[in-house]
A and B are shown apart, each in its own frame.
Chain A
Amino acid sequence: MTTFGVVQTPLNEASIRQLLDDIAAAVDGQPEPVLAAAQRLRTAASNVIADKKELVERVSEFLSKPTAELLQATEASYMAWHGTQVAVANQYRQWLVAYAAILLLILALVGIRLVRSFRELDEANDHLEEQVEERTHDLSDALKELKASQAQLIQSEKMASLGQMVAGVAHEINTPLGYARSNAEIVRTSLGDLRALVDAQSRALDLMTHEETDVEQVADALATAQGIGESLNATELTGELDALLGDTEHGLKQIAELVGSLKDFSRVDRSRSDLFDVNDGIDASLKICQNQLKHRVEVVRTYGKLPQIECSPSQLNQVFLNLINNAAQAIDGEGKIHIHTTPTPSGVSIRFLDNGCGMSEEVRARIFEPFFTTKPVGKGTGLGLSIVYRIIEDHGGTIEVRSTPGKGSEFNIELPLKQHSNNPARESTRDATQAVTA
């Protein structure tokens, strides 16, 4: 059976079939498993025989085909395909060359530019030092100018509020000055009348004491003196004049107080970092803006016992005046301003509350910005609160504002007990002030 496969035309087919038949005969009557195995062998052998037959048929069919012609055709078609491929490759090669040339050209250009840039850079480097120096000079000039104009603005805001304040105080002074002056004139005129009376009376007395005087003359002189005395009503007049002089004194005292408060407020005689009771500063500022508040705004002061703090009194007074003025302006008609001061572990706390018109959140957020103002043009510089902020910052303090539109506003200031000796912000204000005075 094993030789079956290699022979083209198997000659042993019949013998195999014979063998199979023999096996079938031999196993006939054998038990079932043997029968089955014999049957399987028979089936497998017939399958092999059938397959072999087909294989033989296929091989003979293959061998009968004309191989040479087919090979030639295949070669020809391959050669044709190869030719076209070579042509395409050649074309690509040309393109590559052109591309490479362009790249080279660009590279060359870039190289030239680079060289030129390097050269320019070298030149620029040479000038750089000079240019930096020049720019620095320009910048420091601009900074100087800026500082000067800022200082000038601060100064003009100060002058504007000072002018307003002086005008107000001048009015306060004018009333007592008016009646004091007028009273002095009245007393002087009346003194003339009284002098006439005294003269007449002393003449009568002279005549009476003189020995060779006529009784009639004495009577005349007495009558004249009496006439003058009656028309003047001397007793009443002296009483009235006394009252007028009393009023005058009162007026002059009021004027002296007002002038004193101006002096307290400006504090020009005090140094920049003095020990100062904030309550006194608030009182001086309130006196100064009295005419803004009088008859209209009630001021409720709740002062705590404060430690004296190291500060610039005139600057703090400017802050207080500004906040009080703002509060008064926020109040349309009648209203109230509450001022609370309390000592804190680190210094003092000052609160200004008003029941004025308040402000919106947008306004509140910008209120300390320079030139931000809600007042009409010409009414406010928009610098007041920015200067307040600066002064408080310079003093190492804080200022906060809370407000409800229609209800009122609250400014809260915290100030430390002592100033840091080297506060840079403070130095800058000093420089600015000096720039103005220079």
Chain B
Amino acid sequence: MTETSDVAAPKARVLFVDDEPRVLTTMRMLFRANYQVFTAEGGPQALELLKTQPIDVIVSDQRMPGMTGIEMLRVARELNPNAMRILLTGYSDLSAIIGSINEGEIFRFVSKPWANEELTTTVARAVAAARASEAAAAAGDAPAPVGPPPGVLVLDDDPTVPSKIQDILGGDFRVVGATTMDEAVGLMERERIGVVISETRVQSSPVIGLIGTLKQHHPELVSVILTDRADAGTAIELINQGQIYRFITKPIHDSQCKITVSSALRHHHRLAQSPELHQRYEVAAPPPTASAPAGKLMDRIRGLRTVVKRWV
């Protein structure tokens, strides 16, 4: 718990949490030039610090004795919702990752061993997002949405999924279904869509490229992954490159699905009202090897902007 900066200019405040003190030493050396660095050797200590200090970004290790990183970030989110959360993981099991997506709303997963450049870039992005959204948070809650809520697009190989979701959600929501990415983009061109519920793969190609491009060009769109092929690597990619809002697994549970979709729609409304928040959900560039949708599809996704803008 050390303060390593006394420069007059308000430097961003970054908190590092790790049970290995040597990692904290490294972090202090790496970040002290640009940020006010705080460190904590465990979850409880970090939470104590959060109660007294307005922290902008939290970078936490996942595996720590007593309290895991995800558990700490979940509480941290309640204590300080504005702080951006980054999880440092060496080896994590799937349930921990899904838990952190859904309950901790993580900005990025950074894997151990990290590269300094990657970590500093990620922290810089998180700081920018925290700063930008501070103003939005200060401005208060967005006004209640007016008019009919935007539609929910379901992208799944199984054509029965959209109707199942429509049944669960009831008449208050409009659900449209697509079984290919082409069809999905076509639907988005014609309809006002706020939330995309998607499998991780459709027609045996991963949707990560589509989700990432959508988020990049239409940050107000909220994506939820509904899958029966949950694996940790995909989930991490979907957060880092797609900023998915929730990750839920099949079979579909009625109440969970309903709560997730209504919360996703509220989130969409918030994003549409306050563009300052978009930075909080900025996506990382996919690695060059990642499969991106074909160029033509990307152009169409970019073209969507005008359509969406008009409705918002």
Interface residues of A (CB under 8 A from B): 167-168, 170-171, 174-183, 185-186, 240, 243-244, 247, 250-251, 291, 294-295
Q: By the criterion CB–CB under 8 Å, are A175 and B29 in contact?
A: no
Interface assignment of B23: CB less than 8 Å from any CB of chain A: yes
B26 close to A (CB within 8 Å): yes
Q: Are A168 and B91 in contact (CB under 8 A)?
A: yes
Given the complex, which residues of A lie within 8 Å of B116, measured CB to CB? 182, 185-186
Can you list 16 pairs linking A and B with CB atoms under 8 Å apart?
Answer: A174-B90, A175-B61, A175-B112, A177-B113, A179-B23, A179-B25, A180-B113, A181-B114, A182-B26, A185-B115, A185-B116, A244-B25, A244-B29, A247-B26, A250-B22, A251-B22
Tell me which residues across on chain B come within 8 A of A176, comparing CB atoms. 20, 22
Alpha-carbon distance A175/B63, docked complex (angstroms): 10
Rounded to whole Å, the gap between the CB of A252 and the closest CB of chain B is 12
Cα distance, A168 to B119, chains bound together (Å): 24
Residue of B nearest to A240 (CB): B29
B88: which A residues are within 8 A, CB to CB? 178
For the complex of A and B, the 5 pairs showing the least CB-CB separation, nearest first, are A295-B65, A174-B90, A171-B91, A178-B113, A174-B112
Distance of A178 Cα from B90 Cα, bound (Å): 9
Q: How far apart sit A240 and B25, CA to CA, in the bound complex (Å)?
A: 10
* Contact yes or no, B91 A174, CB < 8 A: yes
Could you say which of B66, B111, B116 has the most chain A C-beta atoms within 10 Å of its C-beta? B116
Whether the pair B26, A174 counts as a contact (CB closer than 8 A) is no
- B30 contacts A by Cβ under 8 Å: yes
Once the chains bind, are A181 and B113 in contact (CB under 8 Å)? Answer: yes
CB closest residue in chain B, given A172: B90
Residue pair B22, A247 in contact (C-beta under 8 Å): yes
A179–B26 CB distance below 8 A: yes
Among the listed A168, A175, A181, A240, which residue makes an inter-chain contact with B20, where contact means beta carbons less than 8 Å apart? A175
Given contacts A170-B90, A182-B30, A182-B113, 7 further A-B contacts (CB under 8 A): A177-B112, A179-B26, A182-B116, A185-B116, A186-B116, A247-B25, A250-B22
* B2 shortest CB reach to chain A, Å: 14
A179: contacting residue among B20, B63, B111, CB under 8 A: B20
Residues of chain B lying within 8 A (CB to CB) of residue A244: 25-26, 29
Residue of B nearest to A180 (CB): B113
B63: chain A residues within 8 A (beta carbon): 171, 291
- Given the known interface contacts A174-B112, A174-B113, A178-B112, the answer about A183 and B26 at a Cβ–Cβ threshold of 8 Å is yes
Find out whether the CB atom of B30 lies under 8 angstroms from the CB atom of A186.
yes
- Bound-state Cα–Cα, A287 to B123, Å: 35
A179/B29 in contact, CB under 8 A: no
B43 CB to nearest A CB, Å: 12
Q: In angstroms, how far is the closest chain B Cβ from the Cβ of A378?
A: 12
A239 CB to closest chain B CB (Å) equals 12
Nearest B residue to A185 via CB reads B116
In the complex, are the beta carbons of A243 and B25 less than 8 A apart?
yes
- Rounded to whole Å, the gap between the CB of A372 and the closest CB of chain B is 25
Counting chain A CB atoms within 10 Å of each CB, which of B23, B25, B112, B114 scores highest? B112
B residues less than 8 Å from A295 (CB atoms): 65-66
Interface residues of B in 74-123 (CB under 8 A from A): 88, 90-91, 111-116, 119
Residues of B within 8 Å of A291, CB to CB, are 63
Residues in A whose Cβ lies below 8 Å from that of B61: 175
B117 nearest CB across to chain A (Å)? 8
The complex places the Cα of A185 from the Cα of B31 at a distance, in Å, of 13
Contact call A175/B23, Cβ cutoff below 8 A: yes
A247 to B27, CA, bound (A): 13
Contacts of B111 in A (CB 8 A): 174
Candidates B29, B91, B114; contact of A167 at CB < 8 Å:
B91
- B12-33 interface with A by 8 A CB criterion: 20, 22-23, 25-26, 29-30
Complex CA distance for A46 and B65, rounded to whole angstroms: 140
B90 pairs with A294, CB closer than 8 A = no
Instruction: Determine if A179 and B91 form an interchain contact, defined as CB atoms under 8 angstroms apart.
Output: no
Bound complex: CA of A178 vs CA of B91, how far in Å? 13
Q: Cβ of A250: which chain B residues have Cβ within 8 Å of it?
A: 22
How distant is B99 from chain A, measured CB to nearest CB, in Å?
18
Q: How far is the CA of A250 from the CA of B21 in the complex (A)?
A: 12
User: What is the 8 Å Cβ interface bit string for chain B, positions 19-60, against chain A (1 contact, 0 not)?
Assistant: 010110110011000000000000000000000000000000
Report the bound CA distance from A215 to B66 in whole Å. 65
**Is A182 a contact partner of B66 (Cβ separation < 8 A)?**
no
Chain B residues contacting A182 (CB-CB under 8 Å) are: 26, 30, 113-114, 116, 119
**Given A174-B113, A250-B22, A295-B65, A186:B29 Cβ within 8 A:** yes
How far is the CB of B34 from the nearest CB of chain A, in Å? Answer: 13
The docked-state distance in angstroms from the alpha carbon of A241 to that of B116 is 16
Q: How far is the CB of A145 from chain B (nearest CB, A)?
A: 33
Contacts of A174 in B (CB 8 A): 90-91, 111-113
Residues of chain B within 8 A (CB-CB) of A167 are: 91
Cα(A62)–Cα(B65), bound, Å = 136
Q: Which residues of A contact B114 (CB under 8 A)?
A: 178, 181-182
Query: Which residues of B have CB within 8 Å of A247?
Result: 22, 25-26
Contact A186 B26 (CB under 8 A): yes
B108 nearest CB across to chain A (Å): 16
Q: How far is the CA of A180 from the CA of B20 in the complex (A)?
A: 12
Residues of A within 8 A of B91 (CB): 167-168, 170-171, 174
Distance of A168 Cα from B90 Cα, bound (Å): 10
Q: What is the CA–CA distance of A252 and B91 in the complex, to the nearest angstrom?
A: 19
Q: How far is the CB of B23 from chain A (nearest CB, A)?
A: 5
Q: Shortest CB–CB separation between residue B127 and chain A, in angstroms?
A: 19
